[in-house]
Chain A
Amino acid sequence: MLAAGAKKSEVLTKTGMVVGLNDVSLSVQSGAIYMVMGLSGSGKSTLARCINRLNEPSAGRILLDGQDIVAAGEAELRDIRRTRISMVFQHFALLPNRTVAENAEFGLKLQGVSPQVRRRRAEEVLSIVGLARWGNHYPHELSGGMRQRVGLARALATDADVLIMDEAFSALDPLIRTEMQDELLRLQRTLKKTILFITHDFQEALKLGTRIAIMADGELVREGTPQSIVLDPGSDYVAAFTREVDRSRLFDARSAMSPVQPVPLTAGLCLAETGDGGGLVLDDGGHVVGVLDAETLRGLREGKPYGDANFGTLRKDFVTVRECDSLLDAARAHRAGRPMAVVDEEGRLTGTLAGDRILAGIASAPPHPAGGLHA
């Protein structure tokens, strides 16, 4: 019916069935944390549950490394659930009659793994989530955050490469939630799972997500990286979420910097103009070695010689931030009168960042044309 152009409300009145999801198409890269964000009833959980077919999709395909999950038979589906996809639940769904270790090894037990092997694995994953000493306790003896750690350990124990986290942190206190988010990011650095994280919290989506999909009314309204969504919400609906976002933490220095085009200065040295008339002097590796102020630079242009012909005694009063540092960090590092160099992982200069550009970035105002010198 939907394919024939019917509206959701028409389907509801004619068939009594609610359309949960309509024509949603996503692709999730392996190793990424993919956030599906939406308000209640938006179909975000339905989407996630379709992935391991806790909800049966009525049409469409779900490809996991090319294997169509929707087409999988009962045994094949069970196999996928046991070894490829695991899940963390909003209310933890730990079995109260089993110890923490027994809960952690639950998935392995279903697979028929021998008790010794699965106990060893359970101890492993419990120590990964920081509950090594809690194996013999029962879930009701643990706090909410610790219980969700058990839920996470249980999901990790099967070594599945896809992890569905359905509102996994929504039932936790704000402080514990933040702690768990940091923990997840820390774990993800080593685990490199493909995580599909469902949330109704846009801040959480921004914090954790490599990419975010925003759902409304069973449809996908916006998809992209956190920064691109905040920069360009694309619709009023999405803009309502992005309005309150703390951009100073979200955006990194790279997003606001003015890129540089170094020009040769003398043998082995290059010059990168900073936009206020001055410039940064780079060695041939691209590392910043010193500063030339506007006056000196003008002098050089007019043919005056620099005091020291080899630029051995350059002023060093510049500040450095990394590309991945947030604008908040950049603002903290900013000093009046000192140019700010933005460097990449290897310390090579990639751009400069002036105070007004930091402010523009935080305000998400369109950056004005780069460089006052050429304006």
Chain B
Amino acid sequence: MLDANDLNVFPVDAWIQDGVAWIALNLRPLFLAIKWPVEYVLTLNIFLLQEIPFLAVVAVAVLLAWRLASLGVACFTGIALVAIAALGVWSEAMTTLSLITTAIVICAAVGIPIGIGCARSDRLWGVVRPILDIMQTTPTFVYLVPVVMLFGVGTVPGEVAVVTAAAPPLIRFTNLGIRMVETEMVEAGLAFGATRRQLLWEVQLPLAVPTILGGLNQTVLTAMVMSVVVAMIGAEGLGLVVLQGLGRLDVGRAAVGGIAIVLLAMVLDRITQKLAQPGGPGGRPLLRSLRALVRSGPSAEDKGVARTAVSNPVISSPDQ
């Protein structure tokens, strides 16, 4: 009788082992080059978030949540952060937050340009799309395999995995956002003599911002999930709390980690979702809100609010 195990004649594991050994040996500079910026940004973020006093972090987070989203989200953010501190996992939570913010920075720096490139070139999109499909259908857990092989274990390789997992939605949404800009808008740009660059910056990108922010929300959530999973390859943070709790059969500790993760995830989701929400009560375009933040400063907030209140039309429906 033929047994399934009899068919196991391909020593694939050995091949891959050899292949990876070869790659690790010969392409080491490449992986170092990939690792370096990740490490740099991550170290900076961890340093900042760990060094800034607890109250200052809460204050900044609440302010951001208020200005970018709404007062309700700001209240929730404050309560959630205090709760995390009360659970005794503040430092771990800040490490996780560093992993996520680093992922946001790097994904935005890499993903948005790739997305723009894909939107402008069907050929590039034809190459990138299947890769994204594979990346997004791969379970997050499986990402760890190549990462460990190529980058080793620890927080920085963990961050590489987070960035890799989190980038696809942003690329996809950027591409989609730009392609969805109405042809008449693009034609208007062309008819008035826009160069390709002007068309992108004056017409396509501003109109794609809401969609891109939707992608950012997806990226943040994926990064959140991944930042927990990478505890398995030795990355620090809330994931490690859960993992340790499970390892020691310390259910209480694992639950504490879990609760903190949920709280942090909800805060991030609320804030980024509000950013992308079209015309909702608190939905304001990110750029304008940031500009208002910078221009008015915390002392003249009322003015800033008044300005942004009139100005949420970026996302108003296209037939208006």
Contact = CB atoms under 8 A, between A and B. Distances in A.
A93 B313 contact: no
Interface string B192-215: 111100100011001101000000
Contact of B206 (A95, A139, A158): A95
B192 A158 contact: yes
A80 B313 CA distance: 32
Contacts of A140: 313, 316, 320
Contacts of A106: 188, 192, 202
Nearest to A53: B190
A114 interface: no
Interface stretch (A83-91, A116-124, A237-245, A344-352): A83-91
Contacts of B207: 95-97
A96 B193 contact: no
Given A110-B198, A139-B313, A140-B320, A93 B190 contact: no
Contacts of A93: 182, 184-185, 187-188
A182 interface: no
Interface residues of A, number: 30
Contact of B193 (A91, A107, A138, A139): A107
Contacts of B311: 138
A104 to B, nearest CB: 11
A368 to B, nearest CB: 51
A8 interface: no
A105 to B, nearest CB: 11
B154 to A, nearest CB: 43
A109 interface: yes
A87 B191 contact: yes
B198 to A, nearest CB: 6
B314 A89 contact: no
Contact of B188 (A85, A87, A109, A111): A87
Contacts of B194: 110
Contact of A97 (B184, B198, B285): B285
B2 interface: no
B192 A82 contact: yes
A78 interface: yes
Contact of B187 (A54, A97, A158): A54
28 contacts: A52-B191, A54-B187, A78-B195, A79-B193, A80-B193, A81-B192, A85-B191, A86-B191, A86-B192, A87-B187, A87-B188, A91-B319, A93-B182, A93-B187, A95-B185, A96-B318, A97-B313, A106-B188, A107-B192, A109-B202, A110-B192, A110-B195, A110-B198, A110-B202, A111-B193, A139-B313, A139-B320, A154-B192
Interface of B: 182, 184-185, 187-195, 198, 202-203, 206-207, 209, 285, 310-311, 313-316, 318-320
